[in-house]
A and B are shown apart, each in its own frame.
Chain A
């Protein structure tokens, strides 16, 4: 026994025989770390020289962003890997906190992912994040009500208003359409869809041109205001986040809902009053234009300060592999970023809505990928909220928002 332990001590000090495993640390929301746990275990089993340490953070994405920010600001961050939400990439990259991954991955490999997810991981032509799980805003509707009324799902903004009003007038439903109108990041995400659906744009990341004071942006606000003024949306919709709007829809009090993919599983749960009664489609748009869904996806990056970039890359390769993402999709119903998986027989057998989801994702629109995004988004949120609650007229609000954004970005 003694000789054995002596031998093992001796061996452990000879690098050639046994190497101390390298530990890679990352931070993610508690729910996200649960999602990734099985994948991490498989990776560790196949790679005995690497351990992965997941730090569980709060579930709110902006709080995780703050924790990463604090860690990176201090210089020597405790994190080797970073689990990244879309809107952070430009800021983190501009601050010099993430490693450029171009030397690891080719454009051909990146082409296998949902295009908008890849573009969202780029900053100044370099790639800082490999997409893993995708998501986009979509329109949920009550299939049963539309069938009863003999109506088809709406295609344009006008369709949506008319269909919702018809259903309300026939007394089939209390509210027509619910969305996210509170002053917060979700408001910007929702607005990107209505804006692009009207043919407008927010900020051009290349030229830094600002499009908020152009006619499509005004038309987009008019549409949102119309939903409230005509009683299609409850007045309180201007205070709702995702959950408030989902509750109304799931309790069977609204015919249409704009929300993220997570609603599908919840609204189709056994205890849901609308189980099996809902459909989903890409967001509505103006006639002659195509629909735009706001992307909200997660992926993996490498911290600049890590001492083990190559090991970190091996982990990312494994985490973003088709096998890993297929397993997560099967386990949780979350959407993978790899396009091929949406036709995967195993997945489609379990979730028949996946091919439809890919159509939504392919039409994904990004929030402007610029370093000052957080501030640009706050400017829009403040003035948009003021316009939606009637404190400013749409044109006045958008004029102010555009001016302030131009001032910030140095656009002439």
Chain B
């Protein structure tokens, strides 16, 4: 038996072995994506009695002039960028604190993860009451401190409503990031820090030159996870503001939901989904590219 045919047989075995996985992937990923692509090229709504009628790129041109789509896209982007950035910074701080040895650390760690463990829809209800202008906790505290004279209308003013959503999301998702980063911190060998300190490095230098580079994979994973999640945020917004006031906090997910489930406009809904999907893939690609660049720069400046 020649070497070549042996190689061929091995390759064949390899293909046979991965076929089930490939078929599964095609079924759960490729088919729905292809279907959405096809649907986005049709008009299928109450006007066509829910039957698909091929209409080319009509849905995509309609999107260009759809102010509501652009507004929701802007809202989602603002919400995602600000909340994920805050969560990363705060999550890092909490992770470092939780990594220090102190009495009752186990309990504090458990408590710290609680917000993440609670269902978002419930949390959203609670936050909506916290930001209520009459009975809300936030206004009550501010009034008692004498910082304001009358209750602030948190959820009724566009910027404040967005801020309230971001605060609620940061409260909820920071523990997730801090736990991920804590796991990363624990895998960094202690002696590195000791050696570094003996060489005369300050704690800030240690953080920059040891912690950050070693923690990089965890930071990347946490950031990408949260990026995709925050961009698709639905339940928090649906319960707290419903997209209001005046659409100022409507996220793309809410708009897609309304288009498909409430307006029964399946063709246009599919087109929205396709565009958002492409944008999200692009965003994740750009984010990981930038983070990789930073990592490389860091390594070079260290060596």
| A383/B133 contact (C-beta < 8 A), A66-B261, A239-B153 known | no
State whether the Cβ of A393 lies closer than 8 Å to any Cβ in chain B.
no
Contact B262 A374 (CB under 8 A): yes
- Residues of B near A62 (CB, < 8 A) are 262
Interface 1/0s, chain A 222-239, versus B by CB < 8 A?
Answer: 000000000000111011
Chain B contacts with A in 128-166, Cβ cutoff 8 A: 132-135, 151, 153-158
State whether the Cβ of B248 lies closer than 8 Å to any Cβ in chain A.
yes
5 A-B pairs with least C-beta separation:
A183-B244, A236-B133, A386-B246, A385-B246, A239-B155
Contact A234 B50 (CB under 8 A): no
Chain A contacts with B in 84-115, Cβ cutoff 8 A: 91, 94-96
Bound: A236/B152 CA distance, A? 8
State whether the Cβ of B175 lies closer than 8 Å to any Cβ in chain A.
no
Bound: A181/B156 CA distance, A? 9
- Residues of A near B49 (CB, < 8 A) are 94-96
State whether the Cβ of A248 lies closer than 8 Å to any Cβ in chain B.
yes
Q: Tell which of A182, A383, A385, A388 has the most Cβ of chain B within 10 Å.
A: A385
Contact A389 B245 (CB under 8 A): yes
Not counting A234-B134, A253-B134, a sample of 6 additional A-B residue pairs whose C-beta atoms are within 8 angstroms of each other reads A94-B46, A183-B245, A239-B154, A244-B132, A375-B263, A382-B247
| A234/B133 contact (C-beta < 8 A), A66-B261, A374-B262 known | yes
| A238/B50 contact (C-beta < 8 A), A374-B262, A389-B157, A389-B158 known | no
| A236/B153 contact (C-beta < 8 A), A69-B261, A378-B258 known | yes
**Nearest B residue (CB) for A400:** B67
**Nearest B residue (CB) for A253:** B134
Bound: A366/B37 CA distance, A? 39
Contact B156 A235 (CB under 8 A): yes
Residues of A that sit less than 8 Å from B by CB: 62, 65-66, 69-70, 91, 94-96, 181-184, 234-236, 238-239, 244, 247-248, 253, 371-372, 374-375, 378, 381-383, 385-389, 391-392
**Nearest A residue (CB) for B257:** A66
Contact B245 A386 (CB under 8 A): yes
Q: Which of B134, B151, B246, B265 sits near A183, CB closer than 8 Å?
A: B246
Bound: A392/B134 CA distance, A? 25
- Residues of A near B241 (CB, < 8 A) are 182-183, 239
Contact A383 B246 (CB under 8 A): yes
Bound: A96/B264 CA distance, A? 12
**Nearest B residue (CB) for A382:** B247
Bound: A342/B225 CA distance, A? 58
Bound: A183/B244 CA distance, A? 5
Contact B264 A91 (CB under 8 A): yes
Smallest CB–CB gap between B88 and chain A, Å?
A: 30
Smallest CB–CB gap between B153 and chain A, Å?
A: 4
Chain B contacts with A in 244-278, Cβ cutoff 8 A: 244-248, 250, 258, 261-265
- Residues of B near A69 (CB, < 8 A) are 261, 264
Bound: A343/B129 CA distance, A? 41
State whether the Cβ of B91 lies closer than 8 Å to any Cβ in chain A.
no
- Residues of A near B50 (CB, < 8 A) are 95-96
Contact B264 A95 (CB under 8 A): yes
Q: Tell which of B132, B134, B242, B261 has the most Cβ of chain A within 10 Å.
A: B134
